[in-house]
């Protein structure tokens, strides 16, 4: 079989079509990994994700993105409000006031106050999400480059749609959002419906600006992070009421307007109770499948069949142990690979608890499993 591009392998794997080998993907590293792995023998020139992927021979993840930024424009100005010997209290670019360590180590900030607390704050926040703002779209030269890249066809053609719960959580905070589902459900419904309208309008404007006949997108990315080890942060009934109609509306637009039939969601933790709802909403790739968090791709495949697809699912905790544990983890995922519709990688960013020797061994054994090396 002729050698394929990364895009061909990715798309064909998720359509159960023959490939020369599976894509060799990973999900990045904690910032602390580099200094620790330098002490364990990795060259100091390997100091970011791009250089690490090259060092570990990960396939280049080439992406072409549909134009249309759905970010906050303008973002809040980041400012330091208070400072101690060990921490800073800042207002970040999302408008959230939080405490962060001064030494820069990776951690979740301590959140103090969020930008949206009520409907008036939400109406004010919407002013930063004008779909007609020209800053959301490339200039004519940028559009010309996108058309050229699209015509070459080597990169995965993607579309970024963010999410609903995750987006609102960043504005409001987990605890406040949880209360709002009960105290002001109409506001939650209005937020989620506004997000769906905004995402569709921005990407429709991007499609029109490109002017490519029969434009076809390969995959769309959603982000939620609405579960933890104990399960989802809201009930499945709430998901069905508030999020499912919005997912259906966005994925229907994606299918009908740009022919996209591969939609994946990034949701950590145990997604067992939500996976079927994502699936019903048109999201068919579950990612990153946190095994230690409680997600079991074998159970999901048994429950929903081969139309549910998987990305991730290698238990990072097993990589912390020894070579025998890594071998066992490779064997654990082998039947799922043979079943198809699955691209394996570590089930979140690789933590610094994984030694360089163990990570190299995992990479070697996984590449053998994928058919990348003999």
Task: Please say if the pLDDT value at position 255 is more than 80.
Answer: yes
Residue span(s) of the chain under CATH 3.20.20.210 come to 6-71+116-370
pLDDT score recorded for residue 310:
98
pLDDT score recorded for residue 107:
75
C-alpha gyration radius of the chain: 21
Burial class (CB in 10 A: 0-12, 13-18, 19+), 117: middle
Task: Please say if the pLDDT value at position 1 is more than 90.
Answer: no
Band of pLDDT at residue 102, cut at 50, 70 and 90: confident
Least reliable range by pLDDT among 97-106, 216-225, 283-292, 313-322: 97-106
CA dist 326 → 292, 314, 321, 366 (Å): 15, 10, 8, 10
Which residue's structure tokens are 């207002």?
A: 91
Task: Please say if the pLDDT value at position 106 is more than 80.
Answer: no
Q: What average pLDDT is seen over the chain?
A: 96
Protein fold of 6-71+116-370:
TIM Barrel (3.20.20)
Band of pLDDT at residue 343, cut at 50, 70 and 90: very high
């Amino acid at each position: 079989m002729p050698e394929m591009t990364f895009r061909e392998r990715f798309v064909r794997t998720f359509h159960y079509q023959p490939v020369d080998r599976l894509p060799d993907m990973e999900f990045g590293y904690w910032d602390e990994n580099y200094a620790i792995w330098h002490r364990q023998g990795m060259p100091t020139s390997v100091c970011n994700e791009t250089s690490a992927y090259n060092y570990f021979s990960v396939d280049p993840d080439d992406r072409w993105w549909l134009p249309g930024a759905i970010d906050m424009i303008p973002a809040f100005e980041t400012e330091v409000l208070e400072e101690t010997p060990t921490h800073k209290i800042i207002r970040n670019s999302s408008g959230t006031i939080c405490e962060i360590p001064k030494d820069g180590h990776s951690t979740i900030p301590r959140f103090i106050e969020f930008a949206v607390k009520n409907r008036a704050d939400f109406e004010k926040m919407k002013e930063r999400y004008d779909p007609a703002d020209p800053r959301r779209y490339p200039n004519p030269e940028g559009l010309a480059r996108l058309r050229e890249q699209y015509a070459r066809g080597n990169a995965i053609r993607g579309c970024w749609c963010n999410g609903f719960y995750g987006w609102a959580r960043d504005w409001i905070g987990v605890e406040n959002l949880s209360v709002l589902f009960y105290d002001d459900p109409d506001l939650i419904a209005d937020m989620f419906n506004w997000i769906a309208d905004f995402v569709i309008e921005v990407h429709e404007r991007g499609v029109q600006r490109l002017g490519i006949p029969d434009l076809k997108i390969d995959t769309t990315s959603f982000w939620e992070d609405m579960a933890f080890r104990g399960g989802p942060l809201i009930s499945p009934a709430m998901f069905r009421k508030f999020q499912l109609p919005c997912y259906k509306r966005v994925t229907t637009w994606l299918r009908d307007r740009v022919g996209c039939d591969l939609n994946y969601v990034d949701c950590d933790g145990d997604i067992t109770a939500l996976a079927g709802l994502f699936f019903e909403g048109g999201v068919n790739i579950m990612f990153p499948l946190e095994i230690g968090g409680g997600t079991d791709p074998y159970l999901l495949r048994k429950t929903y069949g081969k139309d549910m697809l998987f990305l991730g699912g290698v238990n990072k905790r097993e990589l912390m142990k020894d070579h025998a544990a890594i071998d066992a983890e490779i064997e654990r995922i082998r039947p799922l690979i043979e079943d198809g519709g699955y691209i394996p990688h570590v089930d979140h960013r690789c933590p610094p608890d994984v030694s360089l020797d163990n990570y190299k061994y995992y990479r070697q054994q996984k590449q053998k499993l994928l058919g990348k090396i003999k």
